[in-house]
Structure 1
Amino acid sequence: MTTPAFEDLAETFDFLDDWETRYRHVIELGKAMPAMPEALKVPATKVEGCASQVWLHPMPADGRYDFIGDSDAIIVRGLIAVLHSLYAGLTPAEVLAVDAPAALARLGLHEHLSAQRSNGVRAMVERIRAHAAAAL
């Protein structure tokens, strides 16, 4: 299960010719994300296991999962935007049903991210899943 926003992103990635262009697109997605209020960048929202500083804060509404996030690394901000497109708007149960590794493999991310970045993405996915599980 994926969201329409993620399907649009996957189509865009199919259209982009090479990883460098995709990488720039991920960065642009990060730049376009709304700013996370500094007051939410606290230890409780910090994601451990990431090479850079990452914060994720759940913001569910009307039984649907949503979150805001930020990072001190622009590429990681873009990866947060990718995860937002994958999960935002799903019910908590649907969030838990998402096969994130398979979905992200469609974008070719695992092939082009360093081991540290891949571990960070895994840590973010685990945090998102924990948010969703707590909302059930």
Structure 2
Amino acid sequence: MTDPFVQPAEPTAADAIAAITDELELFDDWMDRYEFIIEMGRKLPAFPDIWADDAHRVPGCQSRVWMEATLRDGKIFFAGVSDAAIVSGLIALLLRVYSGRTPAEITATDPVFLKELGLLEALSTNRGNGIAAMARKVREVAAHLSASA
């Protein structure tokens, strides 16, 4: 089985946000950006079916979203998936920023970048609330794992 957890492409969360910003700026309109985000979701590592249950479900999302996290060598790695293509893309975007980071870096990285990228305004209210719920979940996991470490 391949590792279901997202490995960081950039050395820091700030670098990931900068790279995503640059990539999204290549597109002139939101339809092209959506396609890019959906494509990011298609590239997520396979999420084990056994985790697609209520225990892994992220509350507050219009679509069904499941996430799992593991602590390895002081860094938290996340896996995630949704039953909606655009939401899987948003998960990929979030996990590119947060997965493979230390709990301190995760809690220090405010998800305000989602608003700065224009994502929250471009999405429906329900989708915007859902990505905010996913970002909250990531930060809650980091706080919990750093407290128990």
Alignment TM-score, normalising by the size of structure 1: 0.93
**Correspondences of 1:28-39 after superposition (within 5 Å):** 28-39=39-50
Secondary structure of the residue aligned to 1:59 is strand
Q: Who is 2:136 aligned against?
A: 126
Q: Which amino acid aligns with 1:107?
A: L
Secondary structure, aligned partner of 2:81: strand
SS of 2:76's equivalent in the other structure is coil
Q: Secondary structure at the match of 1:44?
A: helix
The Cα of 1:62 is off from its aligned counterpart by: 1.1
- In the TM superposition, residue 134 of structure 1 has moved relative to its aligned partner by 1.0
Runs of 4+ displaced beyond 2 Å: 1-7
1:56-93 deviation digits (Å, cap 9, x = unpaired)? 10022111121000110000000000101111122101
Q: What is the CA distance between 1:95 and its match in structure 2? A: 0.6
Runs of at least 5 residues in structure 2 that lack an aligned partner in the other structure = 1-11
Matched, 1:106 2:116: yes
Deviations 1:15-47 (A, max 9, x none): 221111111000000011111000111211101
Aligned residues: 135
Contact 1:47 1:127 in 2 (8 A): yes
1:16 partner SS: coil
Matching of residue 76 in structure 1 with residue 101 in structure 2: no
User: Does residue 7 of the first structure (1) align with residue 18 of the second (2)?
Assistant: yes
> Following the alignment from structure 1 to structure 2, what is the Cα–Cα distance between the partners of residues 14 and 134?
35
CA contact (8 A) 1:3 1:89 kept: no
Shift of residue 107, structure 1, vs aligned partner: 2.1
